[in-house]
């Protein structure tokens, strides 16, 4: 909506008003953009060894879910913005959804492109319903593998007690411009996100494992809950020579504005 002029944007209804699930039966699953950052202009930002493993695995799993995957490597901010704006200007009428994955360095509120840091909202705001009407009412998914700070999670030990126990569907309706977004962050605000140089980041490892096992069976929020479980329970840093980096934990953070159940069912 252009609030100053009182103009309401109009988009085609793609899902019945009170449908429990998103319509995922369009001709195409949709576009998946992966921005993979390994190298940076600033000498203060280290090479992200292991990110190519993440990128390859994520690309593979998204292709299995019928996404059209396009990988962009070591892009400058202007290139990222131009790519996203071009994607937002396309006709997504025949697509179920869109997905954007960013693998990079970051800090609270910012992500690093090759040349500078930027705020995520400069990217996702291109896909709001008023700016990208052919994605209105459709899922817009963002997966962010990046630190959100420098704090470490020491974790807490849990111990057992050693106890064993065996009609209006055709009516026009208005939606918020910012509805139908989902953001999955590798860690919570203020905290570090861990990455293995050989196997990739904890978050993307867990995400790809869940997509491979349950990607076509579980709804996305249940699946991401299990991603959080994998990261929280199965991963722990090991660096005994540097105690400050040893035995640390991590928990992803999911923020959702989805309005229906999202399931990548088989086609």
Name the helix (H) or strand (E) containing 182: strand 181-185
CA geometry: angle at 84 spanning 69 and 102, to 5°? 60
pLDDT at 4 (0 to 100): 46
CA dist., res. 133 & res. 131, Å (int): 6
User: What is the average pLDDT value for the chain, to the nearest integer?
Assistant: 91
Residue 62 predicted with pLDDT over 60: yes
Q: What is the DSSP letter of 123?
A: H
The proportion of the chain whose per-residue pLDDT surpasses 90, expressed as a percent, equals 81
State both tokens at 14.
Answer: 């793609």
pLDDT at 5 (0 to 100): 47
Residue 55 predicted with pLDDT over 60: yes
pLDDT at 170 (0 to 100): 45
Residue 56 contacts residue 21 (beta carbons within 8 Å): no
What average pLDDT does range 232-239 have in this prediction? Answer: 95
* CATH no. of 28-151+179-256: 3.40.50.1460
Q: Could you tell me whether strands 140-145 and 181-185 are parallel, antiparallel, or unpaired per DSSP bridges?
A: parallel
CA dist., res. 22 & res. 25, Å (int): 9
What is the dihedral sign for C-alpha 120, 262, 265, 22?
A: negative
Task: Please report the DSSP string for 236-248 in residue order.
Answer: ----TTSGGGSS-
What average pLDDT does range 1-6 have in this prediction? Answer: 46
Max Cα-Cα span within the chain? 66
Residue 138 predicted with pLDDT over 90: yes
Distance of CA 73 to the CA centre of its chain: 17
Residue 194 predicted with pLDDT over 60: yes
The proportion of the chain whose per-residue pLDDT surpasses 70, expressed as a percent, equals 88
What average pLDDT does range 20-40 have in this prediction? Answer: 98
What average pLDDT does range 114-133 have in this prediction? Answer: 96
What average pLDDT does range 113-134 have in this prediction? Answer: 97
Closest CA to 120 of 112, 110, 105: 110
pLDDT at 157 (0 to 100): 74
What average pLDDT does range 84-93 have in this prediction? Answer: 98
Residue 155 contacts residue 114 (beta carbons within 8 Å): no
Q: What is the DSSP letter of 186?
A: S
CA dist., res. 77 & res. 80, Å (int): 5
pLDDT at 165 (0 to 100): 37
pLDDT at 171 (0 to 100): 53
What average pLDDT does range 210-226 have in this prediction? Answer: 98
* Banded model confidence at residue 174, pLDDT cuts 50, 70, 90: low
Residue positions annotated with a catalytic role: 105, 147
């Amino acid at each position: 909506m252009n609030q100053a002029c009182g103009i309401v944007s109009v988009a085609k209804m793609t899902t019945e008003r009170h449908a429990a699930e998103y319509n995922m039966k369009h001709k195409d699953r949709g576009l998946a953009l992966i921005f993979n950052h390994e190298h940076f202009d600033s000498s203060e930002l280290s090479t992200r060894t292991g990110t190519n493993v993440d990128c390859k695995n994520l690309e593979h799993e998204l292709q299995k879910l019928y996404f059209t995957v396009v990988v962009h490597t070591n892009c400058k901010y202007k290139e990222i913005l131009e790519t996203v704006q071009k994607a937002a200007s396309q006709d997504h009428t025949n697509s179920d959804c869109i997905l954007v994955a960013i693998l990079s360095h970051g800090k609270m509120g910012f992500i690093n492109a090759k040349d500078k840091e930027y705020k995520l909202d400069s990217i996702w705001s291109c896909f709001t319903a008023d700016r990208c009407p052919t994605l209105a009412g459709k899922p817009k998914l963002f997966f962010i593998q990046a630190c959100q700070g420098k704090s470490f999670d020491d974790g807490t030990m849990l111990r057992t007690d050693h106890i064993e126990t065996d009609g209006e569907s055709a009516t026009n309706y208005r939606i918020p411009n910012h509805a139908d977004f989902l953001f999955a962050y590798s860690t919570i605000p203020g905290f570090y996100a861990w990455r293995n140089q050989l196997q990739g980041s904890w978050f993307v490892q867990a995400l790809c494992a869940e997509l491979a096992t349950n990607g076509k069976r579980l709804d996305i929020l249940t699946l991401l809950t299990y991603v959080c479980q994998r990261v929280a329970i199965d991963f722990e840093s090991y660096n005994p020579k540097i105690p400050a980096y040893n035995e640390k934990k991590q928990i992803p953070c999911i923020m959702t504005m989805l309005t229906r159940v999202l399931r990548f069912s088989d086609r």
